[in-house]
Structure 1
Amino acid sequence: MIPLRAGDALALLLGAALVVASALHFWRDGIGETLRVRADGRVVEDLPLRLNRTLSVPGPLGTTVVEVRNGRARIATDPSPRQYCVRHGWLSRPGEMAICLPNRTSIEVLRRQQEYDSLGY
């Protein structure tokens, strides 16, 4: 085994620092900041995830209750028959969604700066 010299160790440290800095800069999923609540395709409200709050959203089948607690959100109750959106549980990462199709309501976690919706070449 060849021992490391001072220059080798410095190059390894600089390489490791570059990898860590790149990961922190380019990894954008991170933590969601806002919850977008929709009903019938329209935005009902944008709620900050940092505030604890409960919101009732009317739909064709009844009321959907959205709960925001401790930086995450969920659909607490919904009148839909199969309860898929309620079973989805807590959402906290950008891009996560829960959709209640029969009641036409949905929630989506957003980040501060939106990524591209589509790209054209």
Structure 2
Amino acid sequence: MLGRIASVCFRLPVKAGDVLVIASAATLTALLAIHAWRPGTAERALVRAGGQVFAELDLHRDRVIRVPGPLGETRIRVAEGRVRVEADPSPLQLCVKRGWLAQPGDVAVCLPNEVSVELTGAARRYDSLAY
């Protein structure tokens, strides 16, 4: 019986309307996926020191700021709509190695020196979602 159903299904001719519907559905799915996973653009950088907001930086104005921490001074650079931790006294330099941050939700954290930089924007990119 299953063989008879399979042979009938595979003998049906594909019509032009069928191809049009399948192509339209595939195009719509691709466009929705691109729109849903686009992270947006970052607008500001939020700098925290010791758990408190130290500065809120406009990403359209290039500058360098120095943030004091328990181990010393952390240097943060804003350039071309991006931000990075340029120098930090922390031993492993993980926040420096993080490099340029450009998307909303990107974060660089210098834990031993208690300094962090987070990019904010209208939309946010998520690493994971929980229910």
Task: Judge same fold: TM > 0.5, yes or no.
Answer: yes
TM bucket (normalised to shorter chain) is: 0.7 to 0.9
Instruction: Summarize deviations over 1:14-68 as a string: whole Å, max 9, x none.
Output: 2133113312332142433321110010112222333322111111222111111
Please name the residue that 1:110 is paired with: 120
* Distance in 1 (alpha carbons) for counterparts of 2:22 and 2:37: 22
Structure exhibiting the larger radius of gyration computed from Cα positions: 2
* Distance in 2 (alpha carbons) for counterparts of 1:37 and 1:72: 13
- Give 1:41's match in structure 2, choosing from 51, 54, 61: 51
How do 1:25-64 and structure 2 match up within 5 A? 25-64=35-74
The answer to whether the 8 Å contact 2:104/2:124 transfers is no
**What is the percent sequence identity of the aligned residues?**
46
Q: TM-score, normalised by structure 2?
A: 0.72
The answer to whether the 8 Å contact 1:40/1:59 transfers is yes
Runs ≥4 in structure 1, deviation > 4 angstroms?
Answer: none
Q: TM-score, normalised by structure 1?
A: 0.77
How do 1:3-42 and structure 2 match up within 5 A? 5-42=15-52
- Give 1:65's match in structure 2, choosing from 71, 75, 87: 75
Alpha-carbon RMSD: 2.9
What displacement does 1:90 show? 1.4
Gaps in structure 2 of 5+ consecutive residues: 1-11
Verify: 1:96 aligned to 2:106, yes or no: yes
Bigger helix fraction: 2
Please name the residue that 2:91 is paired with: 81
Gaps in structure 1 of 5+ consecutive residues: none
* Distance in 2 (alpha carbons) for counterparts of 1:17 and 1:48: 37
